[in-house]
Structure 1
């Protein structure tokens, strides 16, 4: 099924996964520093992931669909 035919909910899930992968790659050093902090507890990990996921709200469903579709193209992969 082509990305343009996928339901919005499926596109949103794929976009969230893509967004989190990119964010954790881009902010890897900063995230490592946060996780290594003395006051970072295991239960804070879910809060950190949730905070990162909130960034997806900045993108409209149309933008999410376009990004997911572009990311699926072989020539757009790094």
Structure 2
């Protein structure tokens, strides 16, 4: 099995971008959980606004170049792999 850094190197830019977007949204929603709850629970918030909110959060990924996205995806995959391997060793 290839090391995580090699796995990320063989992924297409589209695959890396999709994986990075997922990671970024998870981090953003965790970091801004209280603020997002306030927005979602506001009297004037409609369910139709949810896709707009998600799209707005996704716009943050544009701050990162494809190279930065690949580096982050590679690093998170390596950390995840090391963490799961440590759990197996215990």
Q: TM-score, normalised by structure 2?
A: 0.81
Higher Cα Rg, which structure: 2
Aligned residues: 77
TM-score (norm 1): 0.93
Q: 1:20 aligns with which of 19, 25, 35?
A: 25
Q: Secondary structure at the match of 2:47?
A: coil
Where does structure 1 differ by over 4 angstroms across 4 or more consecutive aligned residues? none
For residues 72 and 62 of structure 1, the distance between their equivalents in structure 2, rounded to whole angstroms, comes to: 15
| Uncovered stretches (5+) of structure 1, i.e. residues with no partner | none
Give a deviation string over 1:20-55, Cα, whole Å, max 9, x none. Answer: 000000000000000000000001000000000000
Partner SS, residue 38 of structure 1? coil
> CA contact under 8 A between 1:70 and 1:76: conserved in structure 2?
no
Q: CA RMSD in A?
A: 1.6
